[in-house]
Amino acid sequence: MELFTGIQKFNEPLYLESGRILEPYQLAYESYGKLNADKSNAIIVFHALTGSHHAAGRYENDTKSGWWDPLIGDEKVLDTTKYFVICINVLGSCFGSSSPMENGDKEPLRLKFPVITISDMVKAQMRLLKHLGIQKAYAIIGGSMGGMQALCMAIEYPNFSDRVICIASTYATQPWAIAFNRLAMEGIINDPRFKNGHYDTEDFAQEGLLGFAIGRMAGHISFLSPISMDKKFGRNYVETDGLYELFGRFQVERYMQYNGNSFAKRFDPLSYLYIIKAMNIFDATRNYDSLEDSLAHIQAKLTLISFKEDKLFRPYEMKEIKDTMSNIGKSNLVSFVCIDSDYGHDAFLVEYDKFDFYIKKALEEKARDGK
C-alpha cells in the first residue's frame, strides 16, 4: 500500500461560519493507494474527535497502526489496490492542521483561535480535495464526528459524492453528548496548569493536565455502554488494592485512570476544547428551516449505520435522518441499519466485522450501478 503523508498550506482566506477568517491556514493529510488517471477513485475518510489523518498503516517505532487500519489497505474493505483513500486532519486538531497551537511561523493563537464548525472543517477539506484535482469522490465515509462531516458534505456539496456512509453519528448533537463534553471543558479550564490557555506544551510531557484526564475519563464512560462495562470489567477489583481502602480501585477505575492520564499527555487541551465545541454546535438543520429542508439537498445514496447500545449518538437519532429522508420522498436514497453490539459508541472502532459488510455493499453497488 502506497502511503503519503504531508501538509498543504493555503494562502487564500477561509471564511468561517463565525465571521472570523483564517488566512493562511494548513491541513495535514494522509493518503493510501493511488489516485487513478481520471481521479475518480478517491474515498474520503473523516476522523473523529481524537483521531488524526493517520487512519491506516504503521510507522516505524509506532506501537499502533492508524485508527481504522483494519478497514483500509490492500484487499481490505477500503481496498487500496482499487481506491485512493485520503484522510485529512480537521481544522482545530493537534496533528498538523491549523489549530489553537499551530499557526505556521507565527505565535499560536491559543484562545484567540476562532471557533470552528463542522461546516468549516468540510469547507477547508474541499479546498484540499480540489487542489488534488478531485472533483468528485467515489465515496465519503466517517464515524462519530467523522459522520457529521460526511453528512454535512452530503448536504452542502451534494454533487461531490454519490455515496455517503455515516456511522454512529447524528444530525445534531443532543444534550447527553453536550453534557459529557462539558465535563471535559470544566476539567481543562479549571486546572491551574491550564493557565487560561497560556501553558507550555512541554509541561505536559511528564504529566498531562489532571482536569483534562478527568474529562477524558468522562469521555470513556460516554463511549462505552453499561453492558459493555459489565462484560469488560464486571466488579473485578485491582489485585493489589483492598476493598476497605478508600482509594482502592475496581478494574474499571484503573482503566479510566490509565486511559485518561495517558491521553492528557498526548493530546492538546486547547484542540480538545475547540473540537468538542464544533461537535456541540453541529446542527445540520441550523441554516435551514427544518431537517426536511436540510436533507432535501442530498443527492447521494446515504448509508446510515448505528449501534444499539450507543448512548452518545443513539440509533434513534440516525433513524430520524432515515425517516425524514423517507418523508420527503427520498427513501430510495437512504438505508439505515442498527447493529446489535454491546460496545456502545466505541463499536465503530472495535467491532469492524459487524458493520464492514454495509460499507462493502455500498461500494459494490456504486461499482455496479455507476452511482
Angle between helices 118-131 and 145-156 (to 10 degrees): 70
| 235 touches a copy of itself by CB under 8 A | yes
Q: What pairing do the DSSP bridges indicate for beta strands 84-88 and 25-32?
A: antiparallel
Smallest Cα–Cα separation from 227: which of 356, 147, 355, 347?
347
- Return the C-alpha cell found at 286: 441550523
Candidates 26-34, 71-79, 231-239, 291-299: pick the segment binding a copy of itself (CB under 8 A). Answer: 231-239
- The DSSP symbol for 79 reads E
The residue within the footprint of a copy of itself, chosen from 101, 126, 189, 333 (CB under 8 A), is 189
CB of 282 to a copy of itself, least distance (A): 10
Q: How far apart are the first and last CA of the chain?
A: 26
Residue 117 Cβ, how far from a copy of itself at the closest point, in Å? 8
C-alpha cell at 76: 481490505
Taking CB under 8 A as the binding criterion, the range among 128-136, 145-153, 226-234, 297-305 that sits at the site for a copy of itself is 226-234
Q: In the stretch 298-327, what mask flags binding to a copy of itself with x, by CB under 8 A?
A: -------------x--x-------------
Separation of alpha carbons 86 and 329, rounded Å: 32
What is the x/- site pattern for a copy of itself, positions 337-356, by CB under 8 A?
A: --------------------
- Please say if 120 is a catalytic residue: no
Residue with Cβ nearer a copy of itself (51 or 344): 344
- Residue 52 a catalytic site member: no
What does the alpha-carbon distance between residue 164 and residue 153 come to, in Å, rounded to a whole number? 9
Q: Is there a cis peptide before residue 315, judged by omega within 30 degrees of 0? A: no
For position 214 contacting a copy of itself by CB under 8 A, the verdict is yes
Selected catalytic residue, list 144, 161, 169, 225: 144
- Give the whole-angstrom CA distance, residue 346 versus residue 150: 18
- Closest Cα partner for 115 from 252, 281, 329, 229? 281
206 binds a copy of itself (CB under 8 A): no
Under the binding rule (CB under 8 A), the answer on residue 221 touching a copy of itself is yes
Q: Which residue among 162, 310, 342, 346 is the active-site one?
A: 310
Strand ranges in the chain using DSSP code E only, listed in sequence order: 3-10, 14-15, 21-22, 25-32, 42-46, 72-73, 78-79, 84-88, 139-143, 163-167, 301-307, 334-339
Site for a copy of itself in 99-138 (CB under 8 A): 111, 114-115
Q: Which amino acid is at 8?
A: Q
Is 356 in the active site?
no
| Window 33-62: contact mask with a copy of itself (x via CB under 8 A) | ------------------------------
Q: Which residues bind a copy of itself (CB under 8 A)?
A: 17-20, 111, 114-115, 172-176, 178-180, 182-183, 185-187, 189-190, 192, 210-211, 213-214, 217-218, 220-221, 224-226, 229-230, 232-235, 243-247, 249-250, 252-253, 256-257, 260, 273-274, 277, 280-281, 283, 311, 314
